[in-house]
Amino acid sequence: MRILVLMGGSSPERMVSLKSGEAVADGLTRKGHQILKMDPSRPEKVLTSEYRLYEGPVGETPVGENEPLDADKIEALLRCIKKYSVDLVFPMLHGGWGEDGRLQSVFELANIPFVGSGSASSALAMNKHLTKRVVSSEGVTTPEYYFIPRDSLNKIPDICREFGYPLVIKPNASGSTVGVSILQDETELEEAIALAAAQQDDALVERYIPGRELTVGILEGQGLTVVEIVPQEGYYDYKHKYTSGQTNYICPAKLETKITRRCLEQASIAFQILGCQVYGRADFRLTADGKIYFLEINTIPGMTELSLVPKSAAAVGIDFDELVNRLAVISMNLPR
């Protein structure tokens, strides 16, 4: 197949997207596909597989260039797809336009096959508040929380006092823990509010769940393997996610069989009830007394050398190249 891999974009997760996109392009090339690469925020440049859009590290802090994918850029992307007779688009755009359903809706209207979830489920999964409401209706347990509209962030201090500490403040629609703060007491509140406000998004104040960090890669609606995430220090923030040696991964996680089964079931339920397709990743917290709390689902999870879906797939015998090839084949034959 001739596959266009989209990477970069304009969200704060731009650098992660570039690394993910290059890895996916390499894997598909090794599987014999003809690959084109594009950063849709700079659609004038289309590269073949032997050229790199990016080769550097992700870095320790998010870097978003805030270049909106406006109508002209979308039109340039569609012209490129037609000009090069692209069979399939493989979006590796984390956050923003790439993951919130807007780009997927363009492809759906233009009848262009693409990898991953459709526009409606992408938009729903990107919205943490709505995701929680939907999955909880199916018996999936999530931490208690308050939803705060972006024009009411000044109410956060009162809500936090009422809610009690420790707690988490996070943007309603972002990934890679961008803008997330874990607060032990009120002394950390001012900085956390400023960080949340900088994302220009609604926010959640969420109960902090002490315990173990778990994640489940999902392929065609089924959980693959549970991976435990153990940061060297602190919590699993942007730096720990994308800096080699900052985090240990236990795959498969050393859990009681019933807990492993429950995580896989909950991941599958969340994926399916949100209407997601092809692949994704669900994140959980596990308390000392064995309670499992669903946090969120990712419809375009990272695919770097440190990423979790490839680890989850490898544990069940699916190597990276076969994984990305399978995602392409599944998506090509998927009715939209």
Q: What are the tokens at 89? A: 């688009």
Q: What is the DSSP string of 208-255?
A: ---SEEEEEEEETTEEEEEEEEEESSS---HHHHHSTTSEEEESS---
Q: What residues pair up with 168 in beta bridges, in sequence order?
A: 182, 206
The DSSP bridge pattern shows strands 222-231 and 88-92 to be unpaired
CA distance 269 to 273: 6
Express each pLDDT in 88-131 by its tens digit: 999 999 877 889 999 999 999 999 999 999 999 999 999 999 99
Q: Domains of the chain, with CATH numbers? A: 2-115+325-332 (3.40.50.20), 126-140+211-316 (3.30.470.20), 145-207 (3.30.1490.20)
CA distance 140 to 270: 7
Q: Which residue type does 274 have?
A: L
* 235 has a pLDDT exceeding 80: no
Tell me what the mean pLDDT of segment 206-214 comes to.
94
Express each pLDDT in 32-67 by its tens digit: 999 999 998 888 889 998 888 777 766 655 565 556
A 10 A CB-CB count for 138 gives 12
Residues 208 and 168: beta-carbon distance below 8 Å = yes
Express each pLDDT in 188-202 by its tens digit: 888 888 887 777 788
CA distance 39 to 65: 12
Express each pLDDT in 126-148 by its tens digit: 999 999 999 999 999 999 999 99
* Choice between 34 and 68, residue whose per-residue pLDDT is larger: 34
- Return the pLDDT at 58: 66
Q: What is the DSSP string of 121-135?
A: HHHHHH-HHHHHHHH
pTM of the model: 0.90
What are the catalytic residues?
13, 176, 242, 281, 283, 296, 298, 302
SS3 300: coil
A 10 A CB-CB count for 44 gives 9
The DSSP bridge pattern shows strands 2-7 and 88-92 to be parallel
| Rounded CA Rg of the chain | 19
Measure Cα distances from 289 to 210, 292, 293 in Å.
Answer: 11, 9, 12
Express each pLDDT in 165-185 by its tens digit: 999 999 888 754 567 888 888
Residues 213 and 48: beta-carbon distance below 8 Å = no
Q: What residues pair up with 217 in beta bridges, in sequence order?
A: 281
